[in-house]
Amino acid sequence: MGTRISFAAYTTEALDGSAVHHALAEGMAAVRRIEAKMTTWRDDSEVSQINAHAGGDAVRVGADTLTVIQKSLWIAEQSGGVFDITFASMGKLWRFDQDLTPAVPDAADIAQARRRIDYRRIALNPKARTVQLTDGAQRIDLGGIAKGYAIDAAARAMRAAGLAAFYAQAGGDLYVAGRKPEGARWRVGVRDPRGPESTYFAL
């Protein structure tokens, strides 16, 4: 999903190194399963297929993708559209990833693209488990919610594999459980966005 995934756990009397590695692998498998459905970095994901069929047929999706889109629309409604997964309809006017550019888009292009942003145009059929973008110019991106959903899935998988103390992180989404073997709490830091990768301004 275009971010770095980090897991950490310690061996204990009940869990040796092999067991811990197995649990971490189960967590990563859960993340990869969610990523395969919801990333926009792969053309074969369910979200990419929804975007590819914008203005056309509804796309049948799995239970996870439907759940996340339903929750996204609920949040959009509750926030008055402040959170809106159709923000991706702005296209590549601003580029922040591998194609980063400092150029400021033309105001007219911004205004035109903003008119495409409207979560209310997403048509869901929960019974048929389909999603449809009724506007051919619309696109969705679950980047604001899918990583958190994936980390929650990873945490469930690692707990099921026997881990009681661990942390799992995907970008800004973090799940912490239990304590370190000596009883210390996990420390969570907020990285300085303008400093080197190893510098933090809050712990």
Residues 64-90 have a mean pLDDT of 96
pLDDT reported for residue 81 = 95
Cα–Cα distance for residue pair 31/36, rounded to 1 Å: 9
pLDDT reported for residue 171 = 82
Cα–Cα distance for residue pair 120/77, rounded to 1 Å: 9
Cα–Cα distance for residue pair 80/36, rounded to 1 Å: 30
State the maximum Cα–Cα separation within the chain, in Å, rounded to a whole number: 63
- Average pLDDT taken over every residue of the chain: 91
What does the pLDDT look like over 89-142, one tens digit per residue?
987 777 666 666 777 888 898 888 888 999 999 999 999 999 999 999 999 999
